[in-house]
Amino acid sequence: MLTPLAAQPTAITDFFKEAGFTHEQFKRNPTLRDLPSGRLGNLSDLTERTSEPTALNILLRWFFLGLPLGSEAFAGLIPAPVVAQLVETGMLVPDAGRYVPKVMLTPCDGFLFAADPARTLETPEASGMVLWPNPSTRLLQMFTIRRPTTAMLDLGAGCGILAVLAAGHCRQVVASDLNPRATEFARFNVWLNGVNNVECVTGDTFAPVEGRRFDLIASNPPFFVTPSADQIYCENSMELDGYCRELIRAAPRYLNEGGFLQITLEWVEVKGQSWRDRLAEWLADTGCDAWVLRSYTRSAAAYAAERIGRMMPYSPLTENQRFDEWMAYYRALGVEEVQGGIMALRRRSGSNWIRIEEVASLDCTEPFGDSVVELFANQDRLESERSDDRMMAWKPRLPADVRIDQQLHLDDGEWKPSAMQLRRPGGLPTALALDPQVAEFLRKCDGTRTLDELGERLAAEVKVDAGQVRQQCCAVVRKLVERRLLLL
Ligand SMILES: C[S@@+](CC[C@H](N)C(=O)[O-])C[C@H]1O[C@@H](n2cnc3c(N)ncnc32)[C@H](O)[C@@H]1O
């Protein structure tokens, strides 16, 4: 049982920071790249790597590796008042002369999050466990639009990471989860991070917030596509990807006009229906604009092997038995592939648009919420001003952070330019191949000239019919605006 104290958590959090138990340290230190695992056998290696008697190593052994320590191990390294508070909160429990850690602590940006110890994944307790910040949390964190708003919902909040992070830019935040243990962790983390505008509630999907509306709903839901529903942190009781579908279709009722739902998700491709058509069916008549980015795809067999082996290690069945069970399920329902990615849905009255894109991978280390806002604004213009005539008044502007990469090839003993690529690295990287003529045209797109003027000038330069040049300019500009390589 975790207990937030009446006192501020600063004695604990300041000490952790001073000791170097920080996000920066976790990123830098190779010891902290892999989660401690008894099953995969890295625990003895991690124990060895944390053997030097320092305050940081003690904290790592307790709250990362999950090792009990006797007082002789930490005497002189961890101040008594800090140990006393760790015990008072229930994060450490004295037992037969040793101090046993009950949580794993993960630093995330300037915050600290308590969750179940990593090795719970390998035990029967995995069914009700509360997850620590993991790669899909991080992806959603990077993806989330961070602008000042009134009301935010973190749906399936787990230990409350996204809610705590949103508390800085949203006036009222709700962290909601089906698992009461998650609510307990979220409440504790709200205290641990000194936040006072997050309400933590328990219940199924939107039930705890019935009748309320939000400007932002962020959700990293239990989206694994599995035949069972035993592990609450990643599984749900609906067929295949049904939970994500239901969540997406219900969300608009809980969004204010202009409000966003942002989720991580997986969905399937079944025999006779492409994955794009499946998504389009989910997104029809929602009263929302939608942007989907598919970032991975796996055959049913590859998906089952990966999930069973690496992400859901605990089961009374053997891996082979589970694999057979999963494949029988997929075969019965015609599942050929599983797709994964992110989706943003914006509630908007009027005629809505849907855009579905693909990237080879989505390994974002910088926030890209601003790119999402930009993308929605661009798409609005593209949809509402479809005709070339309307586009003539646009004043396209090349963003300051775009770059051109050029490849050279050896030709008769000389380096000659060949392929060119326009790139915008940013939070959500984007790129497009282009030819030198377009590169030259883009140089003049500084936001002061209309497309009409730019087209006319280009037509005079290349001595081609102005109508034809304008048409080509519109096609190019449209493509570049779609990919955020030109702004309007
Ligand atoms: C993948 S975890 C995400 C946790 C956290 N938001 C994060 O990003 O790390 C999914 C969370 O959804 C919760 N959950 C599962 N089914 C749910 C439901 N029907 N309604 C609300 N939450 C649910 C789980 O308990 C779990 O905490």
113-380 maps to which CATH number? 3.40.50.150
Can you read off the two tokens belonging to residue 98? 């040793």
The answer to whether the CB of 113 falls within 8 A of the CB of 21 is no
Please name the residues in contact with 318: beta carbons below 8 A apart, sequence gap of 6 or more.
none
| Domain boundaries defined on the chain | 10-102, 113-380, 388-482
What are the CA-CA distances from residue 381 to residues 118, 262, 373, 391 (Å)?
46, 21, 13, 9
pTM of structure: 0.94
Rounded to the nearest 10 degrees, what angle do helices 10-19 and 80-89 cross at? 120
The pLDDT assigned to 481 comes to 94
The answer to whether the CB of 177 falls within 8 A of the CB of 156 is yes
Ligand 1 centroid distance, CA of 157 (Å): 6
The pLDDT assigned to 437 comes to 86
CB distance 234 to ligand 1 below 6 Å: yes
Q: Whose CA is nearest to atom 14 of ligand 1?
A: 156
CB distance 300 to ligand 1 below 6 Å: no
Weakly modelled stretches of the chain, pLDDT under 50: none
The full DSSP string for 215-238 is EEEEE-------S----TTT--SS
Ligand 1 centroid distance, CA of 165 (Å): 17
The pLDDT assigned to 40 comes to 66
CB distance 156 to ligand 1 below 6 Å: yes
CB distance 144 to ligand 1 below 6 Å: no
388-482 maps to which CATH number? 1.10.10
Distance between terminal CA atoms of the chain?
Answer: 54
The pLDDT assigned to 464 comes to 84
The pLDDT assigned to 31 comes to 77
CB distance 204 to ligand 1 below 6 Å: yes
Q: Whose CA is nearest to atom 8 of ligand 1?
A: 137
The pLDDT assigned to 336 comes to 98
The answer to whether the CB of 408 falls within 8 A of the CB of 414 is no
Q: Whose CA is nearest to atom 12 of ligand 1?
A: 156
Half-sphere exposure of 443 (CA within 13 A, CB side): 9
**Which of 136, 154, 178 gets mutated to test ligand 1 (max ligand atoms within 8 A of its CB)?**
178
Can you read off the two tokens belonging to residue 441? 């045209």
Atom of ligand 1 nearest to the CA of 132: 9
Helix then strand then coil, % of the chain, to nearest 5? 40, 25, 35
The answer to whether the CB of 235 falls within 8 A of the CB of 226 is yes
Ligand 1 centroid distance, CA of 182 (Å): 8
**Which of 130, 144, 220, 246 gets mutated to test ligand 1 (max ligand atoms within 8 A of its CB)?**
220
SS3 at position 404 = strand
Q: Whose CA is nearest to atom 9 of ligand 1?
A: 137
CB distance 20 to ligand 1 below 6 Å: no
CB distance 183 to ligand 1 below 6 Å: no
CB distance 265 to ligand 1 below 6 Å: no
Atom of ligand 1 nearest to the CA of 154: 6
The pLDDT assigned to 285 comes to 96
The amino acid present at 22, given as its one-letter code, is T
Ligand 1 centroid distance, CA of 175 (Å): 10
